[in-house]
Amino acid sequence: MLLKGVLTSISLAVVAITTAAVPIKQRFEARQEQDLVSWDKYSLIVNGERIFLFSGEFHYYRLPSPGLWFDIAEKFKALEFNGISFYFYWGYHSPKKGVYDFSGIRDVQKAFDAAEAAKLHVVTRAGPYINAEVDAGGYPGWLTNMYSMARNSNPENDENSREWLEAIGKYLVPNQITEGGNVILNQIDNEYADNTDEFYMEMIKEKFKEDGMVVPTIFNDIGAPNGNWVNGTGSVDIYGWDSYPLLFDCANPTEWPNNRSTHWRAMHEKLNPSQPFALYEFQGGAFDPWGGPGYDACRTMVNEQYAKVYYKNNYAQGATIQNLYMTYGGTSWGGVAKPSVYTSYDYAAPISEPGLMTPKGYEAKIQGTFLHTVKPFLTTEHFEPETTNSDIILVDGLADVNSNAKFYVAQHWLTKSQDLDEFKITVDTSDGKFTVPQKGKLILNGRDAKILAADLDFNSQHLVYSTSEIFTYQAMGSHDVILVYAYEKEDGEFALKVKNGNIKVQTKDKSVSHKIKDGVLQVNYKHPKGTTPIYVSSKSGQDLLILVAGYDAATRWWAPIVDEKTGERVLINGPYLVRGAEIADNKVAFTGDIDEDTDIQVVVPENVKAFSWNGKDIKLRATGHGSWTGKLKFGRPTVEFTDLTKATWKYSPASPETQPDFDDSAWLDANHLQTNSVTVTDTYPYLYADDYGFHTGNVWLRGKFNGTADITGFNLTCHSGDASAWMIWLNGEYLGGYDVGNQDFTDLNGSLIDPEGENVISILLWTTGHEDNWNADDNFKQARGFTKSELLGIPNQTIWSIKWKIQGNLGGEDLADPVRGPYNEGGLYGERNGWHLPGFPDDDWEDATIPETKNRTGVSWYRTTFEVNVPEGYDAPMSVRFKDDTKTRYRVLLFVNGWQLGRYANDLGPQTQYYIPQGILNIKGENSMSIAVIPIDEAAQLGQVTLEPYIVLESAIPPVELVESPTYSDRVGK
């Protein structure tokens, strides 16, 4: 008979600190009625249940297809995240002061609905400032023209901030847990730690409270536990901080610092000891800049080994709230990005930009399953265990205050270590003291970390200790199941409390050995390539199935919940993705995705006799002890899409603004003599695009001056963000293309300047968004334009010697296309005239081929239509790839069905492949593609453009509706 261990006094090393973990319902002014979310020093308690909040960041505005939000939320749940964090992006919803849009792709209620469908807790983060590598740190473009400082308490900023908070609050308030929703925490501003104003923070808190937010408030201190907003005016209910320990140098992906924190526990106990230890942003990946090494390099840096070492160190320090930034990164489509980053925001996150599984995602699933299964891990106090090799290997001891359970978190002292080192741990249990392993070796092989358990009651069993990590355990009717794992070929030792005699250990693995001494069954084994079942039985009591997995096999084990109330799970190994499972009428129905023929093993209660996969019955073979095996057949579908190298393309030149006789009479006069920008000008008038209501994309300026024999040229200084560029023409003649900075154009008299007539300077400015406001210094108000414009050769010119006009996106802040919104289009001639929209009549354009065979001067536009057909029951996320070997510099805007989904810079890179999300992409028919090519050098030749899927999956992806958006006829019909 298998026995649970008798609960005796725990080790003297920890007895002094092991007081019972009794939830304390925190009370806060005017919110006494809220008792659904409480906390103590150990963790959150939600609806009376103690939880580890294993949350992930998702930006709805980086996936402009709401149907896919449900797909991503399902994947969060499948990877064992029980929470999802949403930034809410002010600028995404507000093109103009007083104007707010929460429809279509901005319908945030659908984000809440997706979280609800996946049964995820929600953390809301509405700023007003969010950072997030988005344009202006999340501020709307129109806020650049605010006179007063942002992130500061003053009447103008308070009014604007309250306007936003009231607009978004209409969606936050009814989705709180107190209203039947999923919102459990609400953040105040974001990383506000420099140039702070306590009354600004208090204003945000009071506005949320006024509008009906009652869930606990939180704050994410920047980089370390600095103590901002723990106490006093502006303070929050549950303080926490952010950390990005590997930073963002993906160019050296295997170089790690030795910077794992060992002082966070002490800082938490000093700063906010009555609250749980919270990491509201912990590094889930890394962003990559223009010209960077690309996200493959970032995935190498912040890989699954990083997740093992750094996340488990967080748990060793006592964290029970951890939000991974990012868990799904997405796409900074249109002008969403800040200047330092390009279109892809893949972030090397656990779920990739096109929604694919990654090794780090699988590791997160393993950790999350453990955290949700092993409840004693949530109420622990630290102790110093007795170990060997302690100068090389750090082992943190964690003792549960409600039981005898202990945990040992082992890692190298040097986080960058790639050495293989042995160690032993002396575990003091209610069953005796053991130095483990007693047989074989316990190792850390390079960048690895282990959480080992001892003296742990689970189901009907009592674990004395294990040198394998626990994935999960579950009662399965007449027997219990525990799944443990380690890297392949590593030794494992599993000790179980038993009653002497009548114990039978069954396995087909001849490397497994066992012995019984003093009522403890010791099982030794090698972790296999795959999974070894070991069955421990007796004539009475609950039997135990031990599943010993190698690490690769563990990544493909899934433990979907089949009963939310009881937390009951079933186990399945093999599939690429398991989205969920349900049991009804002795049948388990799995849903998920596969990428090939897949051998599966399932472990279920003995009453389950039938199985289905994605709605189709499957035949499995019983192998004993509730285990079944079989195969899922991959259908090998035909995914059809147009070969763009053979498509019919249309071409048109598109920079008439360069010609002297171009009619710019409808353009705005650029004549402002005042600005609210923080950028100092050298000459007047101000030539800053934001001052004239143009906040995104390309901007044209035209300056006219009367020639004289004395004028030799002119001088211009461009001020814009990283990866910006500007091209200039005089009287229709190309003068050059440049990065930001100053340029002299000299010796033009006698050649290009007409000394007796009017001369026209034409400038096209390619912008890449606004800076952020991280330091609360109004940095987001930096100009996008020119700080100097003067003629050369005449000393007494006036500020009106050059008369400037400016043009940007059609309508400026009064959007021509509010459906696609304020970041979709800029001021190119083709954009303003709808050339990017489906249905534009391009019949009279010139025929062309891509790759282009001609060097084209000025802006060029290419259009085509293409077909995509993905069969039902499959998911084939699609992309557009650019490839060329030209040395001439150019930029590209990629539009699919009118949506700007890519900015390509052939001279900067690194991005060449652009995700086209289903819902924007019609996967059952015709689509349109428009490509704008902007040479920086005098001429450019567009290279190869191809369509290709990232992967083809047989999938249970939820239905994804087409996003309704206007066509060309809708625009001209206005």
| DSSP for 747-797, written as a single string | S-BTTTB-TTSEEEEEEEEE-------TTSS-GGG--SEEEEEEEES-TT-
Greatest pairwise CA separation for the chain in angstroms: 112
Q: Which helix (H) or strand (E) holds 547?
A: strand 543-550
Cα(799)–Cα(670) distance, integer angstroms = 12
Residue 110 has pLDDT above 90, yes or no: yes
C-alpha 306/C-alpha 311 separation (Å) is 8
Nearest to 278 by CA among 232, 326, 216, 330: 216
Q: Which residue has the tokens 């920008």?
A: 677
Q: Exposed, middle or buried: residue 914 (CB in 10 Å: 0-12, 13-18, 19+)?
A: buried
pLDDT in tens, 605-615: 999 999 999 99
Using 50, 70 and 90 to split pLDDT, how confident is the model at 970?
Answer: confident
Contact, 696 vs 809, CB < 8 A?
yes
Residue 809 to residue 900: CA distance in whole angstroms: 13
Decide: 418 and 376 in contact? Cβ < 8 Å: no
Sign of CA dihedral 244, 249, 255, 259: negative
Confidence of residue 538 (pLDDT cuts 50, 70, 90): confident
Among the listed residues 57, 191, 657, 852, the single catalytic one is 191
Model confidence pLDDT, tens digit, residues 253-274: 999 999 889 999 999 999 999 9
For this structure, is 846 an active site residue?
no
Distance between CA 452 and CA 526 in Å, rounded?
A: 17
Q: What is the pLDDT of residues 568-623, one digit of tens each?
A: 999 999 999 999 999 999 999 999 999 999 999 999 999 999 999 999 999 999 99
**How do 568-569 and 513-517 pair as beta strands?**
unpaired
pLDDT in tens, 803-837: 999 999 999 999 999 999 999 999 999 999 999 99
* 803-807/699-706 β-pairing: antiparallel
Integer CA distances (angstroms), 468 to 31, 114, 542, in order: 45, 36, 22
Average pLDDT of the residues in 934-941:
95
d(CA 803, CA 701): 10
3-state secondary structure of 687: strand
Q: Rounded to whole angstroms, how far apart are CA atoms 682 and 372? A: 60
The secondary structure element, H or E, covering residue 653 is strand 649-653
- Reading the block at residue 832, the tokens are 């303003």
**Could you confirm whether 422 is annotated as catalytic?**
no
Q: How far is CA 248 from the centre of its chain?
A: 15
Helix intervals (H) in 225-286 = 264-271
Q: Which pLDDT score is estimated for 746?
A: 96
pLDDT of 563 over the 90 cut = yes
Kindly state the tokens that stand for 789.
Answer: 């414009």
Bridge partners of 863? 650, 930
Of 57, 74, 133, 281, catalytic:
281
Phi-psi region of 115 (alpha: psi -120 to 50; beta: other; left: phi over 0): alpha
Q: Which DSSP symbol is given to 303?
A: S
Q: Is pLDDT at 133 greater than 60 in this prediction?
A: yes
Per-residue pLDDT band for 552 (boundaries 50, 70, 90) equals very high
pLDDT in tens, 726-744: 999 999 999 999 999 999 9
Q: Which residues contact 26 (CB under 8 A, 6 or more apart)?
A: 38, 39, 216, 237
Separation between Cα atoms, residue 164 and residue 773, nearest integer Å: 17
Question: DSSP assignment, residue 467?
Answer: S
Beta strand residue intervals within 720-757, DSSP E? 725-730, 733-738, 741-745
Q: What is the C-alpha separation between 125 and 120, in angstroms, rounded?
A: 16
Q: What is the number of other CB atoms lying within 10 angstroms of the CB of residue 163?
A: 16
pLDDT per position as a tens digit, 184-243: 999 999 999 999 999 999 999 999 999 999 999 999 999 889 999 999 999 999 999 999
The angle at the Cα of 48, spanning 47 to 54, to the nearest 5 degrees, equals 70
The pLDDT of residue 8 is 26
Of 195, 306, 160, 134, the residue nearest 696 (C-alpha): 134
Q: Cα 51 vs. chain centroid, distance in angstroms?
A: 23
- Give phi and psi for 629, each to the nearest 5: -130, 160
pLDDT for the residue 885: 85
Which residue stretches of 247-358 are H helix? Answer: 264-271, 295-301, 304-306, 312-317
Q: How far is CA 908 from CA 128, 289, 331, 904, 911, in A?
A: 33, 10, 18, 9, 9
Q: 525 with 495: CB under 8 angstroms?
A: no
Q: What pLDDT sits at residue 2?
A: 39
Task: Please check whether residue 658 is in contact with residue 564, taking contact to mean a CB–CB distance below 8 angstroms.
Answer: no
Predicted pLDDT at 973: 55
Strands (E), 423-530: 425-429, 432-436, 443-445, 449-458, 461-466, 469-476, 479-486, 491-497, 504-506, 513-517, 520-526
Quote the CA–CA distance of 804 and 374 in Å, as a whole number. Answer: 68
Give the contacts of 266 (CB within 8 A, at least 6 positions apart).
none
Cα 145 vs. chain centroid, distance in angstroms?
30
Query: What amino acid is encoded at 20 in this protein?
Result: A
**In whole numbers, what is the pLDDT of the chain averaged over residues?**
95
Sheet holding 543-550, edge to edge: 469-476, 479-486, 543-550, 531-537, 504-506
Q: How many angstroms separate the CA atoms of 831 and 861, rounded?
A: 10
Residue 7 has pLDDT above 50, yes or no: no
User: Is the pLDDT reported for residue 848 higher than 50?
Assistant: yes
The CA distances from residue 82 to 74, 85, 480, 728, 899, in Å, are: 11, 10, 24, 53, 33
Q: Are 582 and 559 in contact (CB under 8 A)?
A: no
Confidence bin at 499 (pLDDT 50/70/90): confident
Does 526 score more than 50 pLDDT?
A: yes
